[in-house]
Amino acid sequence: MSKKNGTEPTPEEKKLLAAWRTFFQKNCKADFAALTTSEEDVWGFELQWSLLETHKGLGQSFLNDMEKCLHSGQIVIEEQFRNHNIKPRPVIRIVGISELHRYHLVDLRMRDRTRFLRFDAVVHSTSRAMGWLKRSAYTCNECTHEWVIKEALARARTKAEACPMCIRKGIEMHMKGAKREDLPDPRDIRMDLERNYYEDIQYVELFDPTCLSDEELPDDVPTITAVVSDEYVNQFSPGQCITVNALIGVDHLPSRDYIRDTRRILRLDIHSVEEGFSLHEE
């Protein structure tokens, strides 16, 4: 939804944006007031699922298309933070997800990919903090059009080939009989390094609480890789008991020895974390 290029939100997107605005106005005024003195760089803004699921279809929208729903919510909460002169960059974290989405790590299978689920988990180990290029930005030298490309974690960066606006304009001009030398060059583009968006992440190995046999952290235990981002980076340590709400993704086998290896492993893309177990006893 770029104002520079005249792209307007669809009626469905407008409805979603309006629902988020009324949600924040109704439920978060006190939270906004309390954050006006915060000096943090990033703030995980926690929202209770019980409030979200009953407000103008936001709950159903989240379950139907999590990325689209959170994108609209992010636009609105950033708008609210600016209006209240709040310094940190907000990240929406929905907590208290319904127990209907409860699952156990040991039961996860490939058929569960793309599902949004809730788990009790124990931290086994963590990687060092790192970053990744989440959105690459480009500018056309011919017509100054700007656009972004969403990248995929741990995958080859998408290569931008041409300016979509120049291609469209060139086709229109060609249909009207313009000479080839008069057509715009859609390949005259550059990556805009200043607008590239990088996200802090960390890999965390988790295991199911049922694998705990005593007070000590087991060495030989089946684990699953999870990815945390932003304010969650460097916040967890081995042995910590947590509840995670995550989207189930698929990743390459870390030990693959050839490029087109078809084997895959499951990965948890963690949306939110709550302290302690919500089901098991600690």
Using DSSP, state whether 17 is helix, strand or coil: helix
Give percent of the chain with pLDDT exceeding 70: 95
What is the pLDDT at residue 4? Answer: 45
Only one residue has tokens 């340590």, namely 237
pTM here? 0.86
The answer to whether residues 157 and 133 touch, using CB atoms and an 8 Å cutoff, is yes
Fold of 132-197: Rubrerythrin, domain 2 (2.20.28)
pLDDT the model gives residue 105: 94
pLDDT tens digits for range 186-215: 999 999 999 999 999 999 999 999 887 766
- Dist. CA 74–CA 66, nearest whole Å: 12
Residue 179's CB: how many other CB atoms inside 10 A? 8
pLDDT < 70: residue spans in the chain: 1-7, 214-216, 279-282
| pLDDT computed for residue 281 by the predictor | 55
Predicted pLDDT of residue 154: 85
What's residue 278's pLDDT?
Answer: 77
Q: Which candidate, 82, 71, 85, places its Cα nearest to that of 13?
A: 71
The pLDDT of residue 261: 83
Q: What is the CATH architecture assignment of 100-131+200-275?
A: Beta Barrel (2.40)
Separation between Cα atoms, residue 55 and residue 23, nearest integer Å? 7
Rounded-to-integer distance, Cα 22 and Cα 41, Å: 26
The domain segmentation of the chain, as residue ranges, is 11-95, 100-131+200-275, 132-197
Alpha helices (H) along the chain: 11-27, 29-34, 49-52, 58-64, 66-83, 164-175
CATH of domain 11-95: 3.30.1640.10
